[in-house]
Structure 1
Amino acid sequence: MQITFPHMGNVHIPIKSLLHRLQLDVVPPPPITQNTLALGIKNSPEFACLPMKINVGNFIEGLEKGADTIIMAGGWGPCRFGYYAQVERDILQDLGYRFNMIILEAPDSNVGELFNQVKALGVNVTFWEVLKTVKFIWNQINAIDRMEKAYEYHMAHTDEKEKATNILAMGLENIGGSICQRDVNKVCHETIAGLKNLPRHNKPVLKIGLVGEVYTILEPACNFDIIRFLGNMNVEIKRSIYLSDWVNDHLFKGWLKKSNRGHIYQQASPYLNYWVGGHGRETVGCTVDFARGNFDGVIQIGPLTCMPEIVAQSVLQ
């Protein structure tokens, strides 16, 4: 079994670690390029979401590298993300590719259900081995988030922009090669320390909240690397969602860590008090939260025709 998967920010790091620790062969898709996007656009419906088109491009490139199995997350509700896997499977089969697709649905707060999904990969591991692996991957994801948050802050406060970017890139590369919790902690600590030690300037710094659809927030190839772009302009960014938030809330129904959704929904309730799918409600709530936190502004990003973000945009206007 040769497994490939879609890119979304730095999710490839924990996915590769997860599959390797479960003794599975991994065929990571190449980094997203214009060719990836061109393949997705060519073979997807015109009005499909941009993330789905990039997924299709990822899968084609992964299959061409020899993969025979695709792992994809599932979903539910008004957001079209819940249909991605089925549509992508049909597109790829129509193109002549032969493969297995394993869709990881949220385990509905049931650990046993997660175990059954892992067993579907053909992995001969015990229940406790799965839990041990999930714990390591979760710690790895949280370390990635801590490093990225440190980068978003220190990038705006130093003139050594390229060095800051290189420190983060090296940290991400090293954390991908970590084999134990001690390695994860060491890499995370050294990366954050390296960013903290960069000389600070005394120039004005704007503080901007980044809200919107999760894929376009997390994937630099989809948002024109907006965090680095704004950091070069001395703009400090805080995102409404990070990888650990998405994994915790979407795949594990909030049992890996305490979710801040209740607080965000409370902030959104005077303006949007029901679920519209995706992260539409979170976009409104986080915008209010950022405004009350004395941020200088908010940027909303999302794919063209994204219904939840269109609803949120209408509320914000």
Structure 2
Amino acid sequence: MKVTFPHMGNLYIPLRTFFENLGAEVVVPPLSSKRTLEIGCKYSPEFACLPLKVTLGNFIEALEMGADTIVMAGGVGPCRFGYYAEVQREILKDLGYDFDMIVLEPPQGHFWDLIKKFKYITNKKSFKEIYLAGKLAWKKIILLDRLEKMVNRIRAVELEKGKTDKAYKKALNLISNARDEQELAFARQQIAKEISSIKKAKERNLLKVGLVGEIYTLLEPFVNFNIEKQLGELGVLVERSIYISQWVRENLLPSFMKSKEPEVLAKLAEPYIPCFVGGHGRESVAQIVSYAKQGFDGVIHLLPLTCMPEIVAKSVLPMVSKIHSIPVMTFVLDEHSAETGLRTRLEAFVDLIRERKEEKEFGVLSGD
């Protein structure tokens, strides 16, 4: 059995660790690229949203490399993500590929069903073995999330441009290559040393921008044109609303292990979206309210074209922006989106919020 899975940010690192530690042969598809997108678009329905197209491209590239078992997440609610695996399965079968697809549905009280699927993938490994492999993978997820947060803060104030990105790539390799908890602890120390060596300017008057929206377009740098890096290069401290650890908690862990954050966010969004609309639509609105309360200078909202939950969220954003006095800019992404256009809009948005911040500070100083 040769296992593969789609890319979504750095998720491939803990997934590879998990399956390899359970004895499975893992085929990691090439990082998402223009070729991946072209392949996915060629065989996907035109109206399908961008994540389906890119992940289909991931699967085809992995199958070409010899993979025979696809592991894909499922979903519930109005978001079409829950249908991805079924649609992709039929497309791949029509193309003549011979494979098995394992869909990991959110447990929703049936956690042992999820364990059974892991046992099937890993040739009936014991619960203890699955737990130990999962423990190491989880620690990698936590470290990756911390790393991404540090990088997004430091990139905005680095004195030597590009230094943070070099350290980031080195850190990813260290985490990926760690074979056990001891090696991961050593990697953590090396990363801390590498990050602390980066010379930084003072964070005085630093612009702070929050990123909200559909999870895949937030986490996958290929589809969002590495927006976090671009904002950092413009001197902006970026905070993303969703990280891999949150997604795992919400979708793969039993209910008693989940955090209370979704309940808090639901209350923040209630005046604007009083019910669940699928995906992270309600959370996007709530996070904008939260960022406004924290004094952020602006928010960028990302979504794939035709994403229903985020379209619902987008409909109330002008009101949220006005009430909470925070600029919000939306990027709708599909296979026709271009980095040049995004960069131009980003630069204009950053100029706008910088001028707005300076005007507010001048008003305070002048007593207006």
TM-score bucket (shorter structure): over 0.9
Once residues 122 and 212 of structure 2 are traced to their aligned partners in structure 1, the CA distance between those partners, rounded to angstroms, is 38
Q: Which range is displaced more, 118-127 or 49-58? A: 118-127
In structure 1, what is the equivalent of residue 345 of structure 2? none
Once residues 204 and 158 of structure 1 are traced to their aligned partners in structure 2, the CA distance between those partners, rounded to angstroms, is 15
Map 1:144-293 onto structure 2 (within 5 A). 144-202=144-202, 204-253=205-254, 255-256=256-257, 258-293=259-294
In structure 1, what is the equivalent of residue 132 of structure 2? 132
**Cα shift at 1:255:** 4.5
Once residues 310 and 56 of structure 2 are traced to their aligned partners in structure 1, the CA distance between those partners, rounded to angstroms, is 22
Task: After superposition, give the CA deviation of every residue in 1:275-302 in whole Å (9 maximum; x if it has no partner).
Answer: 0000000000000000000000000001
Pick closer, same or farther for the CA change 1:248–1:40 going to 2, 3 Å. same
Instruction: Please state whether the residue corresponding to 2:124 is helix, strand or coil.
Output: coil
Task: After superposition, give the CA deviation of every residue in 1:179-207 in whole Å (9 maximum; x if it has no partner).
Answer: 22222233233323422331122474210
Once residues 155 and 144 of structure 1 are traced to their aligned partners in structure 2, the CA distance between those partners, rounded to angstroms, is 16
Once residues 210 and 294 of structure 2 are traced to their aligned partners in structure 1, the CA distance between those partners, rounded to angstroms, is 10
**Cα shift at 1:245:** 0.4
Once residues 195 and 232 of structure 2 are traced to their aligned partners in structure 1, the CA distance between those partners, rounded to angstroms, is 13
Once residues 260 and 189 of structure 2 are traced to their aligned partners in structure 1, the CA distance between those partners, rounded to angstroms, is 24
**Cα shift at 1:15:** 0.8
Instruction: Please state whether the residue corresponding to 2:162 is helix, strand or coil.
Output: helix
**Is the CA contact (8 Å cut-off) linking 1:33 and 1:221 kept in structure 2?**
yes
**Is the CA contact (8 Å cut-off) linking 1:150 and 1:192 kept in structure 2?**
no
Once residues 177 and 109 of structure 2 are traced to their aligned partners in structure 1, the CA distance between those partners, rounded to angstroms, is 30
**Is the CA contact (8 Å cut-off) linking 1:146 and 1:188 kept in structure 2?**
no
In structure 2, what is the equivalent of residue 303 of structure 1? 304
Pick closer, same or farther for the CA change 1:21–1:255 going to 2, 3 Å. farther
**Cα shift at 1:176:** 0.8
* Percent identical: 45
In structure 1, what is the equivalent of residue 114 of structure 2? 114
Once residues 65 and 99 of structure 1 are traced to their aligned partners in structure 2, the CA distance between those partners, rounded to angstroms, is 12
In structure 1, what is the equivalent of residue 80 of structure 2? 80
Once residues 29 and 81 of structure 2 are traced to their aligned partners in structure 1, the CA distance between those partners, rounded to angstroms, is 20
| TM-score (norm: length of structure 1) | 0.96
| TM-score (norm: length of structure 2) | 0.83
**Cα shift at 1:125:** 1.4
Q: Partner letter of residue 75 of structure 1?
A: G
Specify the structure having the higher radius of gyration (Cα): 2
Q: Partner letter of residue 245 of structure 2?
A: S
Task: After superposition, give the CA deviation of every residue in 1:211-258 in whole Å (9 maximum; x if it has no partner).
Answer: 000000000001000001110111111011001001111222554453
**Cα shift at 1:114:** 2.4
Q: Partner letter of residue 103 of structure 1?
A: V
**Is the CA contact (8 Å cut-off) linking 1:147 and 1:188 kept in structure 2?**
no
Once residues 67 and 232 of structure 1 are traced to their aligned partners in structure 2, the CA distance between those partners, rounded to angstroms, is 38
Instruction: Please state whether the residue corresponding to 2:299 is helix, strand or coil.
Output: strand
**Cα shift at 1:128:** 1.5
Q: Partner letter of residue 8 of structure 2?
A: M
Structure 1 unaligned regions, length at least 5? none
**Is the CA contact (8 Å cut-off) linking 2:107 and 2:251 kept in structure 1?**
no
**Cα shift at 1:157:** 1.4
Once residues 127 and 191 of structure 1 are traced to their aligned partners in structure 2, the CA distance between those partners, rounded to angstroms, is 32
Instruction: Please state whether the residue corresponding to 1:157 is helix, strand or coil.
Output: coil
State the aligned residue count: 317
Once residues 269 and 316 of structure 2 are traced to their aligned partners in structure 1, the CA distance between those partners, rounded to angstroms, is 10
Q: Does 1:61 align with 2:65?
A: no
In structure 2, what is the equivalent of residue 36 of structure 1? 36
Instruction: Please state whether the residue corresponding to 1:302 is helix, strand or coil.
Output: strand
